[in-house]
Structure 1
Amino acid sequence: MTIGKLSEFNVRAGNWTLYVERAEMYFKVNEIKKELWLPTLIAAMGDEAYELISNLTSPAKPGESTYEVITQLMKDHLQPKPSFMAERYRFRQRRQQTGENIPQYISELKKLAKHCEFKAVLEENLRDQLVCGLISETIRQRLFTEENLEYTKAVKIACAMEAAERDAAAVEQPGTSVTEPTSGSTSGSGSTEVLHTGVMRRGRGGGTPRGSSNIHSRGQKYVGEVGSGSNAEPCNACGVWSHQVNDCPYRNYVCGKCRQRGHLRKVCPLRTTRDTARRAGRGSGRNLLAHVVAGDQEREAEWSEDDDSLFEEEEIGENLFQLCLNDYKPV
Structure 2
Amino acid sequence: MCSSSANGMFGGNLTFDHRIQEWGIFKSRFNQFCLANDINEDTDKAGLKRRALLLTSLVEETYRVVRDLASPTSLEDQEYTALLTLLEKHFVPKKSSFAERYNFYKAEQRAGEELAEWAARVRSLAQHCGFGAELQTALRDRFVLGLENVKEKEKLFSESISSLTFDRALELAASVRCARLALGGARQEPAPQLYALRPGAQRAAAAAAAGASHSDSARCEVCGYKSHSKDQCRFVNLTCKNCHKRGHLKRMCKLRVKSNNFMETVDGDIVEDLTN
Q: In structure 2, which of residues 196, 199, 205 is the aligned counterpart of residue 187 of structure 1?
A: 205
Q: Secondary structure at the match of 1:51?
A: helix
Residue 162 (1) aligns with residue 168 (2): no
Summarize the Cα distance change of 1:149–1:58 in structure 2 as closer, same or farther, 3 Å threshold.
Answer: same
Q: Is the 8 A contact 1:6 1:23 kept in 2?
A: no
Mapping for residues 1-331 of structure 1, pairs under 5 Å: 1-34=8-41, 35=47, 36-147=49-160, 148-173=163-188, 175-179=190-194, 180=197, 183=201, 186-188=204-206
Give the letter aligned to residue 78 of structure 2: S
Cα deviation digits, residues 59-95 of structure 1 (max 9, x gap): 1022322333222322322221110000000000000
Q: Is the 8 A contact 1:132 1:140 kept in 2?
A: yes
CA distance in 2, matches of 1:11, 1:118: 29
Structure whose CA Rg is larger: 1
Summarize the Cα distance change of 1:183–1:57 in structure 2 as closer, same or farther, 3 Å threshold.
Answer: closer
Cα deviation digits, residues 276-302 of structure 1 (max 9, x gap): xxxxxxxxxxxxxxxxxxxxxxxxxxx
What is the TM-score with the length of structure 2 in the denominator? 0.63
Give the letter aligned to residue 176 of structure 1: A
For structure 1, which runs of at least 5 residues remain unmatched after alignment?
193-331
Summarize the Cα distance change of 1:162–1:183 in structure 2 as closer, same or farther, 3 Å threshold.
Answer: closer
CA distance in 2, matches of 1:73, 1:15: 15
CA distance in 2, matches of 1:152, 1:127: 8
Shift of 1:32: 1.5
Cα deviation digits, residues 202-247 of structure 1 (max 9, x gap): xxxxxxxxxxxxxxxxxxxxxxxxxxxxxxxxxxxxxxxxxxxxxx
Give the letter aligned to residue 69 of structure 2: L
CA distance in 2, matches of 1:137, 1:115: 29
Summarize the Cα distance change of 1:166–1:184 in structure 2 as closer, same or farther, 3 Å threshold.
Answer: closer
In the TM superposition, structure 1's runs of 4+ consecutive aligned residues that sit over 6 Å from their partners are none
CA distance in 2, matches of 1:183, 1:100: 48
Summarize the Cα distance change of 1:164–1:66 in structure 2 as closer, same or farther, 3 Å threshold.
Answer: farther
Summarize the Cα distance change of 1:66–1:169 in structure 2 as closer, same or farther, 3 Å threshold.
Answer: farther
Q: CA RMSD in A?
A: 2.4
Q: Mean Cα displacement is larger for which, 144-153 or 72-81?
A: 72-81
Q: Secondary structure at the match of 1:114?
A: coil
Shift of 1:142: 0.8
What is the TM-score with the length of structure 1 in the denominator? 0.53
Cα deviation digits, residues 295-317 of structure 1 (max 9, x gap): xxxxxxxxxxxxxxxxxxxxxxx
Shift of 1:41: 0.8
Give the aligned partner of residue 314 of structure 1.
none
Q: Mean Cα displacement is larger for which, 97-106 or 169-178?
A: 169-178
How many residues were matched structurally? 191
Q: Is the 8 A contact 1:178 1:187 kept in 2?
A: no
